[in-house]
Amino acid sequence: MSGDEETMRRAPRRTGGVPELSEMLTARELKAARTLGVADLGHLLRLPPNRYVVPGPLNFLGDMTEGEEVSAVATVRDVRDRSMRNRPGSILSVLIDDGTDAISLTFFLAKAHLVAWHRKNLRPGVRIHVSGTVGNHNGERQIVHPDYVVLDEDHTIDEAMRPIPVYPLRGRVTQAAMRQAFRSALEFAPLLPDVIPSDILREQGLPSLQEALAALHAPHTIDDTRRGMAHLAFEEAFVLQTIFAQRRAADELTPAPPLRAEGPLQGLLRDRLPFTLTQGQEEVAAAIAERISRDMPTSVLLQGDVGSGKTVVALLAMLRAVDSGHQAALLAPTEVLAEQHHRTIMELLGELGRAGRIDGVPEATRVRLLTGSQRVARRRETLLDVTSGEAGLVVGTHALLTESVEFASLGLVVIDEQHRFGVDHRRRLRTRGADGRSPHVVVMTATPIPRSAALAIVGDLDVLSLREMPSRRAGTTSFVVPETQRSWHDRMWERVLEEVRAGRQAFVVCPRINDADETEAPVAPDGGGAPRGVEETYERLRADPRFADVRIGMLHGRLPAEEKQRSMQAMANRELDLLVATTVIEVGVDVPTASAMVVLDAERFGVSQLHQLRGRVGRGEHPGIVFFATTAAPGSESLEHLGRIAGTQDGFELARLDLERRGVGDLVGSQQSGLHRTLRHLDVLHDSEVIEAARTSAAALVAVDADLDAHPGLAEAVDDRLRDADPDVERS
Ligand code: ADP
Ligand code: MG
């Protein structure tokens, strides 16, 4: 899309014909509507009621007993009012009769006009539908302040039995005023433009927008309200998927270098690997290879649990880029992780990554690490390699995207997100490749989420998943250790020592660097109050006679880069037995001989963090054992939650747990566009069929009408949603 078109698209498009709310509603109705924070008719009517009150089956007056909630049809016999004795106002008594008995309705009314209003409605002889709670006054049954509807040709008993919407109220707005506002607004619903084309509605078996809105705000049955909601959910999914389809279409306008070469490096790497790829890895590798062979940029989300073997798959794709005469970049969220990736890649490649060196092979490429903490001279040398194309593979932090690093010919970017979906910065990559071409993008995440959620959140990516774990991984078993159980605690440390004595290594993960960082009062239910900062824990373990022979190290983000590197290296070289660390080890740290982990204050970590953390052990041939030490109270929700995490290994299952507990908003990193945050009607976990169907329909529509010229209502809804989500979104 050109810049001019972009500007035009951003101007609010109005399909015309929809008056302002102020032109449709009375002042009182408008006031009520405004408390809901809506700007126009479309927004107002798309707010569903909180719930509905369904009038119960009719009762006979003769059967009613005190305290009962009742509903009946009866005839007004007599109406009288008298002044209240102790304060201003009147008591209105209305005697009603249904042939089985008669009881009175009582209203305490402060204002004379209210008396007049009820008297006008409740003339003797009219039939009413009345509901309320049966009370007692001087031994006589009565209903105080009942709800009633006068029945006539326009208001039949059928109508009186319909579900009654209950709206959210703010300020001093009454439910009656709010209902009136919606009733009035509903009369203008036919002016609203259709968002979903009618043929798609028919295909989906959904009611039209007008029908849906009527079904929500003036339902005849509860079933109607479900049909109304189904329309809104599909509409929401459809608008989102239209946005994603448009983005994909726009992406495809920039050409990408087709990465089609099958070798030699890819084959040489396969020959070198000490294992064979799992079937899942082969399938995903083939799917990526197929996509990056195209001459338009592809965007893939590769999701798979920690240790599912994403790195090898990504490396094969990167070598495909090099084999095809281009470069590939691998970006990590932190320097520690970038360094780790660099080491892993160098190891996997061996002589294949040592171009120009005596121990390299003729086909070899050069791998460069580019981080902010590198010395100037080294950095300059690296940049030269990147710019000249000498470096086939470049590993760095996400900052590489924002820095003006010039690549000779960038063909593929792999972004390791770990557990965020910062897919927005992915868009900045467009046209960073050679001659205005755009590199292909693979986003890797170790926080797999259900496909439907992925499609709703990052629907412009193709989702590929690695579900099986390579068999070499021994896996882990997790236990929850409540602080209150002293003996369990002792046993936990004993187990850690057993692993260390057997020549394996352990991690102790702390929620913070030092206890002075703690702002809240420390939690110490049993008065124990053991320190839980990295520094204090490190000192404590070193002072503990049980750990006298144990070589203990420390790692956290505030240490100088070199020291961090040294600790990591020492751990990898088995010069340390135990590393006390913050969550900096959460991602990427690969110590195949590590087998034990203690997480202190485990309740402070999120589901995915805990899962990532425990993925650091049991990576080699030795099974891992993980302890979630916690101060969470016995029987608390936190403790139960930890138990559920300890009990499941499947990252997809955990992701679901996390989504159910925290919702989508928290799952997605803050840089992510706000599209998901404005989800109103769609449940990304449970509406998977809706999302899939909307995706298919939207893709088909955008394929023939990318600018939505024939669908002004949809175009308006798309603009609206983008503006609503984030004013910056459209600029990217
Ligand atoms: P991820 O990046 O998904 O967390 P990795 O790619 O780092 O996982 O793989 C975890 C470990 O498993 C690494 O040591 C890797 O070499 C090894 N691995 C990968 N694929 C296989 C396989 N097919 N068989 C055995 N081991 C594998
Ligand atoms: Mg990895």
pLDDT of residue 527: 37
> 569 in a domain, yes or no?
yes
**Is 456 inside any structural domain?**
no
Q: Please report the pLDDT score of residue 4 as a whole number.
A: 40
The Å distance, Cα 305 to ligand 2 centre, comes to 9
Report which of residues 674 and 251 the model is more confident about.
Answer: 251
Q: Which of 417, 472, 590 to mutate to test the pocket of ligand 1 (most atoms within 8 A of CB)?
A: 472
CA distances to 51, 194, 235, 706, 716 from 713, rounded to whole Å, are 28, 5, 11, 14, 5
Q: Pocket of ligand 1, candidates 270, 272, 273, 275: which has the most ligand atoms within 8 Å of its Cβ, to mutate?
A: 275
- What DSSP assignment string belongs to 180-218? HHHHHHHTTGGGSPPSS-HHHHHHHT---HHHHHHHHHS
Instruction: Flag the least confident range among 369-383, 619-633, 654-668.
Output: 654-668
Do 371 and 517 share a structural domain?
A: no
Q: At a CB cut-off of 8 Å and minimum separation 6, what does 536 contact?
A: 514, 515
CA of 262 to the centre of ligand 1 (A): 22
Last residue of a domain, one of 429, 445, 461: 445
Asked whether residue 703 is domain-assigned, the answer is: no
State which of 281, 312, 416, 589 you would mutate to test the pocket of ligand 1, scoring each by most atoms of that ligand within 8 A of its C-beta.
312
Residue 247 falls within a domain, yes or no? Answer: no
Is beta strand 552-555 parallel, antiparallel or unpaired with respect to 51-53? unpaired
Both 45 and 59 in one domain: the answer is no
Residue 671 has pLDDT above 50, yes or no: no
Q: Which residue has the higher pLDDT, 502 or 424?
A: 502
- Based on the domain organization, do 515 and 577 belong to the same domain? yes
Domain co-membership, 35 together with 70:
no
633 with 548, same domain: the answer is: yes
Q: What is the DSSP letter of 674?
A: G
If asked whether residues 527 and 432 sit together in one domain, one would say no
- Which two structure tokens, joined as six digits, stand for 185? 């607004």
Sequence-separated (6 or more) residues with CB below 8 Å from residue 307: 469, 470, 473, 615, 619
Q: How far is the CA of 619 from the centre of ligand 1 (A)?
A: 8
Return the bridge partners of 464, or none: 302
Q: What is the CATH number of the domain that holds 411?
A: 3.40.50.300
Number of domains in the chain: 4
CB 698 within 8 A of CB 245: yes
Question: Which of 55-59, 107-111, 495-499 is the least confident region?
Answer: 55-59
Nearest ligand by distance to the CA of 618: 1
Q: Is there a single domain that holds both residue 617 and residue 486? A: yes
| Residue 596 falls in which region: left (phi positive, over 0), alpha (psi -120 to 50) or beta | beta
- pLDDT, tens digit, for every residue of 228-287? 999 999 999 999 899 889 888 888 888 899 999 998 999 999 999 999 999 999 999 999
Peptide bond into 264 cis (omega under 30): yes
Residue pointed to by tokens 């202190």 = 600
Q: What is the pLDDT of residue 474?
A: 65
User: What average pLDDT does range 181-185 have in this prediction?
Assistant: 94
CA atoms within 13 A on the CB side of 670: 0
* pLDDT at residue 13 is higher than 50: no
DSSP 316-362: HHHHHHHHTT-EEEEEESSHHHHHHHHHHHHHHHGGGGBTTSTTS-T
Any domain includes 119: yes
* Ligand 2 centroid, distance to 177 Cα (angstroms): 58
Model pLDDT for residues 563-622, shown as the tens digit of each residue:
888 888 898 889 999 999 988 776 656 788 899 999 999 998 888 788 888 888 887 788
The reply to whether 632 falls in a domain is yes
Q: How confident is the model at residue 463 (pLDDT cuts 50, 70, 90)?
A: confident
Distance CA(352)–CA(536), nearest Å, equals 44
Query: Residue 122: is its pLDDT beyond 90?
Result: yes
- Residue 532, pLDDT > 50, answer yes
Residue-wise DSSP of 459-484? TTSEEEEE-SPPTT---EEEEEEETT
Residue ranges around ligand 1 (CB below 6 Å): 275, 277-278, 281, 304, 306-312, 446, 470, 472-473, 619
Instruction: Say if CB 654 and CB 607 are below 8 A apart.
Output: yes
Regarding whether 600 and 486 lie in a shared domain, the answer is yes
From the CA of 314, which ligand is nearest? 1
Find the length of the chain.
732
428 within a domain of the structure (yes/no) = yes
Q: Are residues 317 and 433 in the same domain?
A: yes
- The pLDDT assigned to 192 comes to 93
The 8-class DSSP code of residue 544 comes to -
Instruction: Tell which of 648, 681, 710 closes a domain.
Output: 648
> What would the mean pLDDT of 457-475 be, rounded to a whole number?
75
pLDDT at 5 over 50: no
Q: Is the pLDDT of residue 14 over 70?
A: no
Q: What is the pLDDT of residues 300-351, one digit of tens each?
A: 889 887 778 999 999 999 999 999 999 999 998 888 888 889 999 999 999 8
For residue 437, report the distance from its CA to the centre of ligand 1, in Å.
Answer: 32
User: Does any domain span residue 725?
Assistant: no
Amino acid at 637: E
Instruction: Name which of 216-220, 246-250, 690-694 the model is least confident about.
Output: 246-250
Dump pLDDT digits (tens) for 405-442. Answer: 888 899 999 988 755 545 555 555 655 666 778 899 99
State whether 425 and 277 are in the same domain.
yes
Shared domain for 65 and 35, answered yes or no, is: no
Q: 3 lies in which domain range?
A: 1-50+165-190
End-to-end CA distance of the chain: 12
Q: What is the per-residue pLDDT for 432?
A: 63
Instruction: For residue 588, report the distance from its CA to the centre of ligand 2, in Å.
Output: 5
> If you average pLDDT over residues 475-484, what whole number do you get?
88
**pLDDT, the chain, mean:** 84
Mean pLDDT over residues 506-523, rounded?
Answer: 73
Closest ligand by atom to 470 CA: 1
pLDDT at residue 287 in the model: 96
Judgement on whether residues 601 and 573 belong to the same structural domain of the protein: yes
Residue nearest to atom 24 of ligand 1 (CA): 470
Amino acid at 610: L
Q: Choose one of 310, 311, 348, 444 to mutate for the ligand 1 pocket test, by most ligand atoms within 8 angstroms of C-beta.
A: 311
What's 81's domain CATH number?
2.40.50.140
The proportion of the chain whose per-residue pLDDT surpasses 70, expressed as a percent, equals 88
Distance of alpha carbon 296 from alpha carbon 355, whole angstroms: 30
